[in-house]
Chains A and B, each alone.
Chain A
Amino acid sequence: MAYKPQYGPGTSIVAENRRKYMDPAHKLEKIRDVTDEDLVLIMGHRAPGSAYPTAHPPLAEQQEPACPVRKMVTPTDGAKAGDRVRYIQFADSMFNAPSQPYERTYLEAYRFRGIDPGTLSGRQIIECRERDLEKYAKDLVNTELFDPARCGIRGATVHGHSLRLAEDGMMFDMLQRCILDKKAGVVKYVKNQIGEPLDKEVKVGKPMDEKWLKAHTTIFHSLVGVPFRDDKEYVEYTQRIHSLRTKYGFMPTE
């Protein structure tokens, strides 16, 4: 029988969402339409429309050593062209943000190629070749994995994940990269991810409402969402892993 990944335990909506986002067979729902140019502006690695700077000559032009692994693995577009490695980093609020760092890393590993994710408690960075990055960033921002108010694109000074929200429902950001336009109800980025002011505002759409967030979150929260302890299966699984890895050094048998 062919191996079928289970992605994760749990019976709650949070666990269900975690599995759904990780499963490459599940097509992520497209919610907003941030253009390529806008994303390039927010990331701030190159001017929109400019050529991709390269780190090495295209693979077709350079002599590759005879290597069976290189023959087996097809290079991504960015690797083929010799692009630089660049990054996008996200901070997710613990107040029902659709994604969270571990979830991001898992789903990226299942869905994308040629990436180097870095997972921290309140932020997650993904590094890859520049043109691949732009393609992946579009998926990460335009789909149900992102919420303009509860997720932030932040290269430096990322603090906000574990803080209370501001009065208007936005996650705290010391550099205030994005602001909520109250008249239009739209979130717009006024600085790029490292905090340099942008020449033009970049709109990333309306913040989603509480009901939507609760239905799409992958974070347990005992006050505003689904408490972890309510998901018995998840608790049992976590306890089992904890117990096994504690006993591992002695005699790893059940």
Chain B
Amino acid sequence: MTDAIYPQIRIVPERLLNPDRVEKLMNLIATTEGVRRILLNGQRLPATVPYGPARGMENPHPMRKTIKVGDQELELQVHVGTILLELENRDPLPAIRAACDEVFAELSYSIKEGRFMKSEPSLADYAKYGPDADKDIIGMADPKSKSGPVILQGLK
């Protein structure tokens, strides 16, 4: 792991996105050269009702769907509202902007540059991954959940 700081961007659309639109955008972004890590953020959609009188009941939700990015199937666990990307350098930015223009069409969106992803392991990360955790994995999946990040086939 080098100490290089890779540029990160945050894509915020005007509305929370349907799975088909996320799938379309992800496929465009995943085929763009120079994207290192992708993080889909949003409101969590649990499979069962987590609390209240109906706790433990099934929670069917039309936004919790399995999408296909490249050859990889990916189960959405959130209603996607924000997309974070880490890039190798700033070169892929125009391609990402073009992909957003194409996919969001009638929706407005904003792209911001900054530091958005977790950079240091938290206590929960330490408990799960140990002292020598790979910093690329930190923050890519909820350390308390059993599922890990999805690894897409690279373009290199």
Contacts and interface: CB of A to CB of B under 8 A. Distances in A.
Interface string A155-171: 11101000111110000
Interface string B49-74: 11111100101111100000000000
Contact of B59 (A163, A172, A175): A175
For chain A, the bracket of interface size reads: 10 to 19
Interface string B40-54: 000111100111111
B54 A166 contact: no
Nearest to B49: A195
A238 interface: no
B25 to A, nearest CB: 13
B15 A165 contact: yes
B54 A194 contact: yes
A166 B79 contact: yes
B7 interface: no
Contacts, number: 63
Contacts of B52: 155-157, 194-195
A196 interface: yes
B44 A163 contact: no
Interface of A: 155-157, 159, 163-167, 172, 174-176, 179, 194-197
21 contacts: A155-B53, A156-B51, A157-B49, A157-B51, A159-B43, A163-B16, A164-B13, A164-B15, A165-B16, A167-B16, A167-B17, A167-B21, A172-B79, A174-B44, A175-B54, A176-B59, A176-B60, A176-B61, A194-B53, A195-B49, A196-B54
